[in-house]
Amino acid sequence: MELRITGPQRLNGEITVSGAKNSATRVLAAAMLSEGHVSLRQFPLTLVDAREKMKFLARLGAQFSEDPLRNVLSLNVNDLSVRGEENFNVPIRTTYLLAGGLLARGNLARIPYPGGCKIGSRGYDLHMMIWEKLGCEVEEKPDYIEIRGHLRGGTIDFPISTVGGTENALICGAVASGETLVRNAYVTPEVNDLIRFLREMGAQIQQEGQSLLRIEGAGGLLKGASFSIMPDRIEALTWMILGAVTGGSVMIRNVPMDSLEVPMIHLRDAGLDLFRNTSDVFVSPACVGPHGLQPFELATGTHPGVISDMQSFFAFLGLFANGRSVVFDYRYPERIAYARELAKFAPGAISASPGQIKAYGPAKLTAAQVTSTDLRGSMALIMAAICAEGESRVYGVDMAMRGYDNLPAKLAALGVDAQWSK
């Protein structure tokens, strides 16, 4: 998908942050553990990753009902069955989370390889370890991963902290027989949302400190539930930064303040004095002081800090500061391909090497033709195109659609004039 836009444009209006992608897609998988009706409020219905997962579940027998006006997804998964499914080409990473619900129903799961990859790309070793530790046999088939056996409680020691592994252990442990102990768990706000949802369905989960989980498995399926997805902290940060650098007046509703405390401290230290209450943020020209935005240095890391998914937005912000800003990313040092595209809007103003992005501001952004490289990087390119002088084209913006619910409509609501085409 291609975006054409003539800038610079200023954002003005009101916007409501959608349910978090990194919660909604996980909760959707956890809903497979239910033998009753599940209603998910504040569900981001247009997200590509959510739609792809829903399509696959529908082929397995899940029934969905959508209410776009209220952002509610209702589902019934009582008829789920993996037998007979032949299409395992599902272009999402979190396919491994689908195993628990299928194993709880028939001791058999056949799931697509993460991201549609085939044998040879072993980015799922930790998930194989989880299934094996919980008593199952795992076999890599040409088109899918097959897991067989009855889930039994066990001890899972992660060699590294892993969000995806923690989520998989929670989902499988909730329906296993006996206690599952998870060490070196990585509990983000979205993982906490998953835990809350599992508890609503009747799961017995105890968290000790920040990295130890005890799960008393139900030995079978859980009950139905009604649940509201948490707001998306990354989306909220996106609108704060974009509203501020365009000099607009934007009211941002439904902001998860408790999960944005440290990133907002970094915004304040960079010179953004945002108006806020418990759930809303108002961005106006008055938020930027008389001396403009100030350069900064920060390192991405684990929550509650600035996470790697926020890296590209702080690099973008650095283009508007008065001096050199540096963003370090030691967790994902190769996450820099987008920076080379971003530099086309301001040649010489941004540079990147593994684990480090430098931005030199204030830079004058001019129109460019750029190609999306990843989800968050795609949104940073869209932000740059809105601020650049002249007509820009951003290719591959469907990547941004994976993380931003109703993105074209939201930009239009903020006064952005853009053309979207396939």
Amino acid 265 reads I
- In the chain, the number of structural domains is 2
Could you give the 3-state DSSP secondary structure of residue 129? Answer: helix
pLDDT at 121: 44
CA distance 104 to 271: 52
Which two tokens mark 223?
């009950």
pLDDT at 51: 93
Phi (first) and psi of residue 395, to 5 degrees: -95, 150
Residues 199, 203, 209, 213, Cα dihedral to 10°: -150
Q: Are residues 239 and 265 in the same domain?
A: yes
Other CB atoms within a 10 A radius of the CB of residue 366 amount to 14
pLDDT at 191: 97
Q: Are residues 184 and 318 in the same domain?
A: no
- Single out the catalytic residue among 117, 136, 287, 387: 117
Sign of the C-alpha dihedral computed for residues 231, 372, 310 and 418 taken in this order: negative
Q: Are residues 39 and 86 in the same domain?
A: yes
Would strands 249-253 and 12-16 be described as parallel, antiparallel, or unpaired?
parallel
pLDDT at 358: 98
- Which positions ≥6 away from 282 have C-beta within 8 Å? 249, 250, 251, 252, 274, 275, 276
Q: Are residues 143 and 279 in the same domain?
A: no
Q: Are residues 269 and 325 in the same domain?
A: yes
- Which positions ≥6 away from 417 have C-beta within 8 Å? 5, 6, 9
Amino acid 274 reads L
Q: Which of 228, 255, 288 is where one domain is finished?
A: 228
Q: Are residues 362 and 253 in the same domain?
A: yes
pLDDT at 90: 82
* Cis geometry, peptide bond prior to residue 295 (ω within 30 degrees of 0): no
State the DSSP string of 211-225. Answer: TEEEEEEESS-B--E
CATH of the domain at 387: 3.65.10.10
Q: Are residues 196 and 287 in the same domain?
A: no
Q: Are residues 348 and 365 in the same domain?
A: yes
Residue pLDDT, tens place only, 257-274: 999 999 999 999 999 999
pLDDT at 116: 44
Task: Pick out the chain residues at pLDDT < 50.
Answer: 116-121
User: By residue range, what is the domain housing residue 296?
Assistant: 2-18+231-421
| Cβ atoms 133, 159 nearer than 8 A | no
Among this protein's residues, is 117 annotated catalytic?
A: yes
pLDDT at 57: 93
Q: Are residues 85 and 206 in the same domain?
A: yes
Q: Which of 170, 197, 228 is where one domain is finished?
A: 228
